Amino acid sequence: MSTEAPATGGRIYSRTGGPVLRLSESESLTATPSAPERMIINMGPQHPSTHGVLRLLLELDGETVRRCKPIIGYLHTGMEKTGETLTYLQGPTNVTRMDYASPLFCELAFSAATETLLGLELPPRATWIRMLMCELNRISSHLLFQATNGMDLGAVSMMLYGWREREEVLRLLEKITGLRMNHNYIRPGGVAADLPDGWRDDVLRLLDPIGDRLDEYDALLTGQPIWRERLQGVGVVSAAECLALGVTGPILRSTGYSWDLRRHMPYLAYEQLTFDVICGTFGDSFDRYAIRLNEIRESIRLVRQILEGMPPGDYRVQDKKVTPPPRGRIDESMEALIHHFKIFTEGFKVPAGEVYEAVESPRGELGCYMVSDGGSKPLRMHIRAPSFINLQALPYMLEGRLVADAVAIISSVDPIMGEVDR
C-alpha cells in the first residue's frame, strides 16, 4: 500500500489538510479556525439555495471559502433498511422515493438487478417503454435543474420557465403512469401498464414546444454576460479529480472526459439509438449548465427515435412466476385469482446470489447492489446514489471561491438530497 497521498490533478488528497474541513458537528460549535483571521460558519440546512437540507460548514477567510464540509443525513429515513422488509414487487415503491427528481431511474436500477438475479429476458416493447420513460424523465430532471440553477443565480424568469416546461413533462408522465412523481411504473418483469391510447401524439405535442423553448433559454441565459460572469471559471474540477473522487455524470463529462453508460456500456436498447455524449472543456459551472441543457436536446432526439422504433408486443414478461395473470382471467379462473393473490401477498422467490446493475441517471451512475438469499425479500438492497458521491467534490470546487459563488457551485452539482440521505 502506498504511503504517499495520491496526487491527482495537482491537488493533494491529504488526511488533514486540503479543502475538506474535517470537523464533527459537536466540535463545530466550539471549534477554533485553523488561522486567527478565519471563521467557521454554517450554511444551511434551512437555506433556500441548498436544494433541500444540505448543511455546509464553511471555513471563511473574509469572503473566501478555504475549507468546507458538507453535513448530510437530515433526510435519512432508512430506505435501505425498509427495502429489506419489502418484497421485490414492492421494492420500486420504496426506491422511487430516493431520487425524487428522476424516480424512474431508481426503479430501473432496482428492477434490472432483480431481473438479472431471476435471469429474465424482457420483451422488446418493455425495454423500449423503459427507454422512453427514462428519457422523458431525464428531460424533466434537467428542466428542474435549469429552473433551480436559474433561481439560485437570480434569473427568476428562468425558474418559472423551467418549472412550466417540467410540469408539462410531468403531466405526460402522469398520463402514462398515473402519478406525477414516484411512479412505481418500472417493475421487475417489465412495466406496470402499456402506453395509453394516443401516447404518440401526446409525446409529439410535448416535444415540439420544448425544443423551441430550449432555444429561448439559450437566448435568455447562454450568451448573457452576467450569466457567463457568474458561471465561467467557477467551481472548476479536473477529470483526474473526478475519477479519484468517484464523480460521474454531467460533472465528469464537464471536464471533457467522455463517459456515459448509455454509450459506453449500453443497457436496455441504447446501442440501437444514435445520440451524442455531451462533453465540456473546462469543468466549470458553466459547462455543467450547458451540458445539462444540451442533454435535454439529446434526450428529445432519443425520444423521437424511440417513437419510430417502438416495437409491438408485450409490455411485461410472460413468466408466471413473476407476472400476475391478466385482469380478465381473474374473473373466470379461481387459479388465476389465487395466483394473483399469492404474487401480491407473498411475492415471488428470487434465486440466491448478489448482483450490481447500474444505469446512467441524470446525475451519474446510479447502481443497485442486491443480495438475495433465495427468499421473496432482498437480504440487502443498496443503491449507489450518484449525488451522495458527487457531493464529495463540493469542497474541491469551493476552495478559494467567494461565498456568493458557493450558491452557484452547489447548484451546478445538482444534488438531490433524498438520494444523498436515502
Partner 1 sequence: MTAVDSAAPLDTDDLGVPVTTDPGGQTVLHPQPGRLPEVVEALRDAGYVQCLDVCGVDYLGAESRDDLPTGVTPQRFEVVVTLMSHEARRRVRLRVQVPAAEPRLLTLFDLFPGTENPEREVFDMFGITFDGHPDMTRILMPEDWEGNPLRKDYAVGIVPVRFKAAGDTR
Residues that bind partner 1 (CB under 8 A): 1-3, 5-6, 13, 15-16, 20, 22, 24-26, 72-73, 76, 78, 80-82, 84-85, 116-117, 119, 243-248, 258-259, 264-265, 351-358, 365, 367, 369, 371, 373-374, 379-380, 382, 384, 388-389, 391-392, 421-422
Pairing mode, strands 380-384 and 38-43: unpaired
User: Per residue in 133-148, is it b (16+ CB within 10 Å) or e — as a string?
Assistant: bbbbbbbbbbbbbbbb
Q: How far is the CB of 4 from partner 1 (least distance, A)?
A: 8
Nearer to partner 1, 243 or 310 (CB): 243
Q: How far is the CB of 323 from partner 1 (least distance, A)?
A: 20
DSSP code per residue over 293-354: HHHHHHHHHHHHHHHHH---S-SB---TTTSPPPHHHHHH-HHHHHHHHHHHHT-----SEE
Distance CA 255, CA 279 (A): 7
Nearer to partner 1, 76 or 175 (CB): 76
Nearer to partner 1, 179 or 277 (CB): 277
Confirm if 398 and 82 have CB atoms less than 8 A apart.
no
Q: How far is the CB of 82 from partner 1 (least distance, A)?
A: 7
Q: How far is the CB of 392 from partner 1 (least distance, A)?
A: 5
Nearer to partner 1, 105 or 259 (CB): 259
- Using a 10 angstrom Cβ sphere, with 0-12 exposed, 13-18 middle and 19 or more buried, the burial of residue 217 is buried
Nearer to partner 1, 202 or 354 (CB): 354
Q: How far is the CB of 14 from partner 1 (least distance, A)?
A: 8
Nearer to partner 1, 170 or 186 (CB): 186
- Using a 10 angstrom Cβ sphere, with 0-12 exposed, 13-18 middle and 19 or more buried, the burial of residue 312 is exposed
Nearer to partner 1, 248 or 299 (CB): 248
Q: How far is the CB of 113 from partner 1 (least distance, A)?
A: 8
Q: How far is the CB of 189 from partner 1 (least distance, A)?
A: 16
Q: Give the E-state strand segments of 15-156 in sequence order.
A: 38-43, 55-61, 64-71
- Containing H/E element for 149? helix 124-152
- Characterise 266 by phi-psi region: left (phi > 0), alpha (psi -120 to 50), beta (else): beta
